Amino acid sequence: MQAVSLLLNDMETEFMRTIPRLLLVLGAICLAGCDTGPKGSVGFSLPDGDVERGKAAFIEFKCNACHVSKEVAQLGDGASSGVSVVLGGETTHIKSYGELVTSIINPSHRVARRDSTDMASEGGESKMVSFNDVMTVTQLIDLVAFVQSNYKLSPYKHSNYPVYWIPESGEKK
C-alpha cells in the first residue's frame, strides 16, 4: 500500500509541475489563433448560404469535374484533369466556414504544402480552376454551405485502456 501511495504522490507532483507548462502552451496557441493584425480574420463574417443554391453553383461551375460529392455525380471520371477529390463524408473535424472559403478562393494555400503532383503543378500551385473573377459573393457563400452540408461529424472514439494492477511489495506478480 505504501508503494501505491508513493507512486500517487510522485504522479501528483509531476502533474503539478506540468500544469504551468501546459497553460503556457495553451495560451500561446490561443494568441496565435487570435490574429488581430491587418490580415487577421477578427470581425470577418459572411451570412449563411443556401445549400440548394450552392448545389446549383457546384454544378454550374463544373466543380464535379474534379470533386466527388454524394449529392452530385462526378462528370466523367476525373481523368480529364487527373484529379478526383472526395468532398464530404464522416469526419472527426468539420471544415470551418473560413477553411472552406479559403480553399475555394485560394486553393494553393494547402496544396502547396503537400508533395502532390496530381493536385499541384511543379511550382506548387493548385491545379484547381480559379473562379474568383466570375463567381459572385452570393454564389461563394452558397457553395460553402453546400460543401459543408456534405460532412457528417463523427465524434472521435478514445481508446479504452485497462487499469493496471500494481502489486504491493512482497506480493506475487
Query: What pLDDT, in 10s, does the model give residues 80-112?
Result: 556 778 888 887 777 788 888 888 998 887 665
Q: What are the counts of helices (DSSP H) followed by strands (DSSP E) for the chain?
A: 5, 4
Which segments in the chain show pLDDT lower than 70? 1-36, 40-42, 77-82, 110-118, 170-173
Give me the pLDDT at residue 78, please: 46
Give me the pLDDT at residue 156, please: 74
Distance (Å, whole) CA 2 – CA 168: 8
Sequence letter at residue 21:
R
Q: Write b or e for each residue in 98-117: b if 16 or more Cβ atoms lie within 10 A of its Cβ, otherwise e.
A: eebbebbeebbeebbeeeee
pTM as predicted: 0.63
65: DSSP letter? G
Give me the pLDDT at residue 22, please: 54
**147 within 8 A of 71, measured Cβ to Cβ:** no
- Residue 153 dihedral angles phi and psi, to the nearest 5°: -75, 125
Which stretches does DSSP call E strand in the chain? 67-68, 85-86, 89-91, 151-153
133: DSSP letter? T
- Residues 114-124 pLDDT 10s: 556 667 777 77
Could you tell me the three cell numbers for 119? 493536385
Rg (CA), the chain: 24
Mean pLDDT of the chain: 76
